[in-house]
Amino acid sequence: MCFDATLVGAAEGQSDPIAADARLAGDSRQTRFVLDLDKTIQFRAFALADPYRVVVDMPQVSFQLAAGTGTAGRGLIKAFRYGLVMPGGSRIVFDLTGPARIANSYVLDAANGQPPRLVLELEEVDRTTFVQSLAAESRPELKPAIADAADIAVAAEAAAPPKPAAPPDLRPVVVIDPGHGGIDNGTQSSGESEKNLVLGFGLALRDRIEKSGKYRVVMTRNDDTFIPLADRVRIARNQSAALFVSIHADALPRREGDAQGATIYTLSDRASDAEAERLAEAENKADAIGGVNLTEEPTEVADILIDLAQRETRTFSNRFARLLMGEMKSTVRMHKHPLKSAGFKVLKAPDVPSVLIELGYVSNKGDLEHLVSENWRSRTVGSIAQAIDAFFAKRLATAGSAN
């Protein structure tokens, strides 16, 4: 459990605390962060390594800060961002310029005409001290909302009287994974953020393929919640998914020119080109952005077994990618190299065929117009649904002929 029950419960049944202003003071040896609130809150602050970050977890807060707050840093703080990490829980993640320790952190009551404030004081330390302070800290691990919800569901099930068993649902499971969410906005352009565009698209795709009744559809998120990459993969595995479709939108920095069109990515150890490599790196940063402790990521066990499973999975992933390409190119503007591969963490479920679709570039005017167009979305969703049908028609035919 990430948040103490008291911590989350404090926000229930009343309006969320409002954060109205945030400011930084100090220098590269000592830096102070102050957040103005309209009521006092409980919080927890901790540091993370590689990259150096400080995370502040708190109950759900309504951030009403000026646009651009957090993009410019000061002293030990390079930048910071804030937002929801789960229903009832907000978070601020600070990117640090180097190792620092939390010298002090507290919430002040309103006094002397000042509102309640959350104060965080950072102090420069060397790496050895930083790493030692991490080891000494025994902080409860962040668990995603989905895992918690699952635990609760299991507990509720155990307590409930036995029900007559429902017939098992044998339909293939399709997992739709809208990228980013909550504190992680993804790429942004002209006021549109990737996390919202891909959520809208993912929900439309779900509705379309659910309508056929042929598949059971599971969403990795269906609201503005942050989900760590490993949990998205875990959802695919736990659901024994037959297909995993991750939905994203790309952006190209202006200095790198203009790119347009949709691209379909599969998993590979080595990126198919420099752009694919840049993109995988950017998408894999989601956990660092969301404040997940990357040093505690489980190391891959039994790599060889995973490798073997992966080989067959990759064949199916590539087959689905080609079907997608075939369907999408007649309705959607595609990138000039529309099929690529790279080391995307989110595509790593060893036994689930997985693709990642970059719907287009929010940095391109024409693409952005498409991305926000209801009509374009409907046509694109239609072509992906067709590819899913074709993929399963072929799989079922293959399975049938093997018997």
Q: Which positions touch Zn ion (CB under 5 A)?
A: 179, 186, 248, 283
Q: What residues have CB less than 8 Å from 131, skipping those under 6 apart? A: 49
Task: Tell me how far, at minimum, the Cβ of 186 lies from Zn ion, in Å.
Answer: 5
C-alpha triplet 365, 371, 373: angle, nearest 5°: 105
State the minimum distance, in angstroms, from the CB of residue 156 to Zn ion. Answer: 34
* CA pair distance 326, 388, nearest whole angstrom: 12
User: For residue 207, what are its two tokens?
Assistant: 């509705």
Which CB atom, from 218 or from 286, has the smaller least distance to Zn ion? 286
On the CB side of 100, CA atoms within 13 Å amount to: 30
> Smallest distance, Å, CB 187 to Zn ion?
6
The per-residue DSSP string of 282-336 comes to HHHTHHHHHT--GGGSPPPSSHHHHHHHHHHHHHHHHHHHHHHHHHHTTTSPEEE
Let me know: does 80 contact 94? Beta carbons within 8 Å.
yes
DSSP 8-state code for residue 346: G
CB of residue 276 to Zn ion, shortest distance in Å: 13
Instruction: State the nearest-atom distance from the C-beta of 362 to Zn ion, in Å.
Output: 10
Separation between Cα atoms, residue 116 and residue 303, nearest integer Å: 51
What is residue 7's three-state secondary structure?
A: helix
Write down the least CB distance from residue 251 to Zn ion, Å: 9
Nearer of residues 22 and 368 to Zn ion, judged by Cβ: 368
How many angstroms separate the CA atoms of 43 and 40, rounded?
10
- Residue closer to Zn ion (CB basis): 58 or 249: 249
Pick the closer one to Zn ion by CB: 116 or 200.
200
Decide whether 99 or 179 has the Cβ nearer to Zn ion.
179
Query: Between residues 36 and 283, which has the closer beta carbon with respect to Zn ion?
Result: 283
Token reading at 193: 């953020």
Nearer to Zn ion, 31 or 246 (CB): 246
Residue placing its CB nearer to Zn ion in the complex, 49 or 282: 282
CA dihedral 171, 173, 174, 180 (to 10 degrees): 150
Whole-angstrom Cα distance, residue 92 to residue 63?
10
- Cα(388)–Cα(84) distance, integer angstroms: 32
Nearer Cβ to Zn ion (234/248)? 248
One-letter amino acid identity for 88? Answer: G
- In the complex, minimum distance from the CB of residue 194 to Zn ion, in angstroms, rounded to a whole number: 5
Exposed / middle / buried, residue 384 (Cβ in 10 Å: 0-12, 13-18, 19+): buried
Smallest distance from Zn ion to CB 62, Å: 25
- Cβ proximity to Zn ion: between 13 and 191 the closer is 191
Cα separation, 171 vs 214, whole angstroms: 6
CB of residue 315 vs Zn ion: minimum separation in angstroms?
Answer: 25
Closest residue to Zn ion, judged by C-beta, is 248
- How much is the CA Rg of the chain, to the nearest whole Å? 23
**Conformational region of residue 9, where left means phi above 0, alpha means psi within -120 to 50, and beta covers everything else:** alpha
CB of 247 vs Zn ion, minimal distance in Å: 9
Q: How far is the CB of 249 from Zn ion (least distance, A)?
A: 7
| For Zn ion, the closer CB: 22 or 280 | 280
